[in-house]
Amino acid sequence: MLASLYCIRPITAMYAIAKQFRYLFCLILLSFNVQLFAQAQIEVSGNGNAISNGSFTFSTDNFTDFGAVFNTPDEVDVNQQEKTFTITNNGDADLVISDISLVDVKSYFDITTNATGTITSGNSADLVINFNSHAFGLGFAEVRITNNVTSEPYTFFISAKNIACESGECFGVAEDAVNVCSGRGTCVSKDVCECEATVGGINCQTPYRWDDGSLTVTRNLDFTPQLIIGTELDDQSVHEVIVEIKTSSKFPGSQGVTFGLVNNPPSDTNHPIGVYGLEYGYISNGKRIADNNQASYGDTFDVGDQIKLIYDGPNNTLSFAVKKSGETEFTLQGDGSAFSDLDFGDSNPAFAISFQCLGGCEYVIR
């Protein structure tokens, strides 16, 4: 703006040298303004499909899911998998990639072609990552791209699986044992279970539905959000259920554990409560969620806390109460019910829990 105000004034200098000086000064100021407002942009993609900053989901469409490789026990790393990611600068200034690293506790992945350096406007650079399959099982890593655009590193997660062609056992249990895959599935290859329809988890340890009474639900390192569904509820009574959080390790970037009501049956069992319609939830961050919209509601909750879900069928409301670890009484959250005028379509609702767990998670329902 300074350059514009200065340069539109009539040039009234009497001497040519003064005119030339003012013209040169205008050019300098205009050039400074262009440089001042120029910005770089960082975009990351795989297989031509975008990968958002902070993404914790996995898909073969954008290569964040490398898929599976198959090896024999005596040649565990013969078959590996390599994927290429593209970092693009669609801005009008230089994009500087100062560092690219992997957070990979099991060292399953290696960067074989780095993309550090300067990427000029309109250009891109390839980042190549290899799944080295040095051991059987499921591997995952966080990719961290330090750059001059985002205040924190640009991050996303990748996963891959190395499967033994010869089975033998799943998680230390013989493939023909009655308790293999937690007694709820079939061992199809080394540490790979094919679960019954009503359970999930890498070792078929997670029921998708609980019955009346007490049940301990465990969830291990599975990467996908999971719904655990309770019995169907009618609209003629007031229904309550209490859930105690024994252990809970939130997957980075995920919604966290959520309690609530879903239509029964839900459209699928691999999403957080509330991201779809006909679902109502209370998240561990203290917010309520419906139609994928979050709003402040109550206290945050964590390990050791108990959450009471209260569905008032006749009045068609859903409320929540929390008993913090060490406390003796439940405290009703919010100024009233969390949700009213609930809509479950043509079905009745069911209580539900959803979570995306990094490591062991355990909840007691009663």
Give pLDDT tens digits for 187-201: 877 778 888 766 777
Q: Which residue has the higher pLDDT, 84 or 276?
A: 84
Residue-wise pLDDT tens digits, 49-93: 999 998 877 888 999 999 888 888 788 899 999 999 999 999 999
Q: How far apart are CA 354 and CA 258, in angstroms?
A: 5
Between 69 and 279, name the one with better pLDDT: 279
Summary mean pLDDT of the chain: 83
286: number of Cβ within 10 Å: 15
Determine what percent of the chain is predicted with pLDDT higher than 70: 83
pLDDT of residue 9: 47
In tens, the pLDDT along 220-238 reads 555 677 788 887 899 999 9
CB burial string 42-64: b at 16+ within 10 A, e below: bbbbbeeeebebebbbbeeebbb
- The structural domains of the chain, ordered by start, are 2-33 (no CATH), 43-164 (2.60.40.10), 167-204 (2.10.25), 207-365 (2.60.120.920)
Do the beta carbons of residue 274 and residue 338 sit within 8 Å? no
**Predicted local distance difference test score (pLDDT) of residue 192:** 80
- Give the highest mean pLDDT range of 184-188, 210-214, 289-293: 289-293
Q: In the structure, what pLDDT confidence band is assigned to residue 4 with cuts at 50, 70 and 90?
A: very low
Query: Comparing 202 with 312, which gets the higher pLDDT?
Result: 312
Predicted pLDDT at 43:
96
What is the average pLDDT across 10-25?
54
Structure tokens at 123: 């250009």
pLDDT of amino acid 6: 43
- Ramachandran sector of residue 294 (left: φ over 0; alpha: ψ -120 to 50; beta: rest): beta
Amino acid sitting at position 331: T
Query: At residue 8, does pLDDT exceed 50?
Result: no
pLDDT tens digits for 304-342?
Answer: 999 999 999 999 999 999 999 999 999 999 988 999 999
In this predicted structure, the answer to whether residue 180 has a pLDDT above a threshold of 80 is: yes
Task: Compare 308 and 32 and report the one with higher pLDDT.
Answer: 308
Tens of pLDDT along 127-162?
999 999 888 888 889 999 999 999 999 999 999 988
SS3 content of the chain, % helix, strand, coil (to 5): 10, 45, 45
- Quick: pLDDT tens for 204-218: 877 777 665 566 666
Give the pLDDT confidence score for residue 7 in this predicted structure: 46
Q: Which helix (H) or strand (E) holds 321?
A: strand 317-323
User: With the CA atoms of 213, 218, 224 and 230 taken in that order, what torsion angle do they form, in degrees rounded to the nearest 10?
Assistant: 0
